[in-house]
Homo-oligomer: A and B are copies of this chain.
């Protein structure tokens, strides 16, 4: 198989972790006889520094012509005081919208060996396996933004949250399809007792559910979901929700897994098509360039890339198994270390990747 991958390291530790991801992809390619070609480009703060904008039109076009996009992370204190349209994060939003990546998948799987690094009790998180499906190109993120003044002279700001039936329908399908390959339960999270968009959301979810009679559907209000995620996380299989709620709940859910350094993500357009893959963590400016960053979330994102954009299920499994083996054998990056751990088993960014490549 020959495929083209656009690589967008971004800022901070982005480059370090993305480099390790590529090593792992190359290992798998050699083993299974594939050819992956990489094209690198700058986005975020790096693009602001070089070109004065966070995302260039030609970068977007390059991505549109690729088979997949591998992204590191964007942002950093250096660019934090820029006005809204010149923030590094705009690159992310621009890529999501420009590539039509409406479905964000964030699996939260609690790996046995690192269960102790969670702030939750072992019995609460052990065995947790939730897939958060977040709508990624609609809602309040992309609605009209405005400022104005009342007649009294008082200033106001406004954000509009809009959802169309079709926007909800397609993300609902992604959730129900995903549940079919899992434990067959979907929890749809909304605020239908207050929001009109949530009432539409609930109606459409219910309608799409008709096509999936084998899947159990449950509705949950977002405030309750925020509570249940840390009270009884094992009740969840697939959790589907709109953009803003998904942003909040998926970050909250990452705590279950102990370290955000283990959390991969996939952002997908229509089934089987182009996807963008990135670790959930940020640019971690405090440890950038020190060789300490945890590359596992990126490596697991590469597994998702192989599975969702290239249909290479077996290759994806091999990577995931290798990561689990490395953790089981006691190998850790600094962010995963507990005080009682053996310091000999703590590895840097490149060293732990080499371990994983050994296991592959």
Instruction: Please give the residue numbers on chain A whose beta carbons come within 8 Å of chain B beta carbons, in ascending order.
Output: 84, 87, 89, 93, 119-121, 124, 140-141, 143, 145-147, 150, 154-166, 191, 193-197, 199-201, 222-224, 226-227, 229-232, 244-245, 247-252, 254-255, 260
Contacts and interface: CB of A to CB of B under 8 A. Distances in A.
Contacts of A200: 147, 155-157
Contact of A199 (B119, B157, B193): B157
Contacts of A121: 119-121
B251 A231 contact: no
A226 B197 CA distance: 22
Contact of A196 (B147, B231, B249): B147
A15 to B, nearest CB: 22
Nearest to A139: B159
A154 B168 CA distance: 12
Contacts of A244: 191
A140 B161 contact: yes
A228 B157 CA distance: 27
A250 B196 CA distance: 22
Given A157-B197, A244-B191, A119 B249 contact: no
| Copies of this chain held together in the complex | 2
A158 B252 contact: no
B252 A145 contact: no
Secondary structure class of chain A's binding surface, majority of residues: helix
Given A154-B166, A200-B155, A230-B119, A194 B248 contact: no
A340 B159 CA distance: 50
A48 to B, nearest CB: 14
A141 B255 contact: no
A350 to B, nearest CB: 27
Contacts of A194: 89, 93, 140-141
Contact of A87 (B147, B164, B193): B193
Nearest to A232: B119
Contact of A164 (B150, B162, B166): B150
A156 B160 contact: no
B255 A145 contact: no
Given A223-B251, A248-B222, A197 B120 contact: no
A65 B146 CA distance: 38
